A and B are shown apart, each in its own frame.
Chain A
Amino acid sequence: MAAYKNLRAAYGSSAVAAIDAGVTCVPGAKQRTYTVVDAWVRSHGTAATCTSVDISDTSATVRAVVFTVGGLTNHTTLRAGTATTGVATNLGKPLTTEEGIMIKTVGAAIGTATDIEWCVLYTVTPTVATI
């Protein structure tokens, strides 16, 4: 059976240096599990050099979306699920409990581009405490 959750959105624009280091889009919270259900990114300047820009939990254990560098062209909105460049195998799957949502470069630092806009749609599930 489906969940009936209110949808939440996190949006921002980050310098590529910040993305290289990892930007926390949504901080982790006690007894909460996030599920990324959709996302898009838009590069200002065509990105180069890096392998991908990933949206994952803050330990990079569950990668909800892998945006490969070939799709990060200037001012193009690249959506999760786009063939080849928006690999979204784990879209809709819960991230690690109590971890936040992160966007981070994989591979070498991002070249050429200056900033990347990002939008993450997610739901929040309370985690039942155990005693």
Chain B
Amino acid sequence: MTSNNQDTQWPLWEVFLQVKSGSPYGHVGSLHAVDAEQALQNARDVYTRRQEGTAIWVVPADAITASTPEDSGSFFDPANDKIYRHPTFYKIPKGVNVDVH
């Protein structure tokens, strides 16, 4: 067990599922486990009982570095007024063929 537990629980793991082959992994929740194999088994039991996924990642929660709420002003607000970063900002010149998917 790692020493950075603040309570008597086993270490915390974050669980990511791939819904189908080729699609990106999405975060679905967290769980407790003593090691990676058990985290994988627990993830299978807790998060894939209803065929929610076809592949699993488990990551020790303390291996994730997250932005904090205090960061949000400086991190995300500057993007507010930069609508030209969206492709829809630009008008497509006449005569250009675009396949819209």
B and A form one assembly: no
